[in-house]
A and B are shown apart, each in its own frame.
Chain A
């Protein structure tokens, strides 16, 4: 407890630390926002809640880490991970996801939970349980007389995440395929009547989401680290973000992604790193409780 108060007083006494945490939070949050957008996409289009989302990210991370071990620049891992994850997404869609879309929501939740376990254990068997990180040889920048240090890999990650997010958003808004996806999300029956092959849309959306996760995972491996069982934490984070924002609310998802990054940086600094995971889960419960209070008000109004 004293340590927590001590940490808070450090933040109060040295405002510049706040700025450092804020910047770090935003840089990390950009990756969350990217992956959360993928989750919201699948959720909105085919109402499948993908609990293996975080594990897709980990696969992308391990691809990048392996490329780094082979001496290839880890930033090249981004396109490679996207292509590989696209393939994995397609296989999973064909074998599992396509069969659970029409079922109740718990079925898809459980099926993707099963996929998550297979991926976690597969990664654990293949690469061992150690924490790994891909090093891109970039310098660490320091500002304000060394009080703020920012790894330039994080800036690169931030820029890439933003570029990718813009590319995906433009694709969704402008391209024929993107319009078809949005039409299917709005009303799949009407979309079918108008001649859209919704089966193809579902498959494409799931693959696109997997590829987005691959890119996010590559960035995670560069700016942070990967470990076979970290995926669950990411899945919960993304779930918090999308639940807080609402899956149809794109700017909300992105804002909540940044918010999550900042929240985690401050929480980790104040409470200590060992509470990080607990903090995320408690945030999930808090978000669910708040949502419920809102609903309660609506219900009372109706009564």
Chain B
């Protein structure tokens, strides 16, 4: 029995595949055009407000790498971005779309703040404990979405998102409540609402090189990137995640329970974000204090890093540094008179630009196959006349 409306794996392939050089060239051209397009639009936006894009570009470079101490800043920012991205990668491979990292990050930061400001003990021990609790807090928070998904089929896209807004409020509550995290030190510097400052002994050690400094958070993140890459490709666990993400039914058949494995993937995904939050706090974000607005969109941007990197753990390292560069570079934009928000626009444009080439290539292949078939018919008809 056959279906006429669909075909087996022999889908309409082009009768003759163009040479690999030609295909490679097409890809390269598409990417160059797309990225150039994104950059041109960005330059245009700058020009529209009456500024010079050269100056903007220069300021970005300075701010990100060239000026003194800046690339250290870039790496500092890259660390949490990379961690969030890694969590996203794990989730995506398992077929889950967790987009609540901003909230999970805050939970992790809160856990670290609690450990750092409310517990007593030797510094390094508390630091490690804080990092671990950060992972647990972020993971558990994502776990809520997991429960909702596997018990009641609530899509994690929506639940993780809603949880972000709730997280904002939880943090707000925490830092305004004395018994929780509020800074009760009468000598605290500003009137802004914040948690107590992280004691010196519990801050992340800092690496100093060539006049730059960055917390070891970055090193941790890079190591974890390699770990994730290894686990996904070379271990049974990773295989299970990938199988679940590719075909949940086959996974179930092979013994991979969607709720357990998927739930674990969500937990890990949130855990990475939580770790990012903990590292941010222990690494000096917001002056070592948990404040409203602490997350500064790292969660959202980490998401984008993963997507731009094609959900690839190692590629995420590079993309995270790139995105971090845009962020730290934007700090130097004030002098050019261009608003910092342009950087967000450039980022989004780049992401869109990177989505275009694969999509276009796919469509072109199909059109070519159809066109070739058409040509032959036309030729045949011509001969007959």
Real binding pair: no
Q: Point out residues on A near B: beta carbons under 8 Å.
A: none
Q: Point out residues on B near A: beta carbons under 8 Å.
A: none
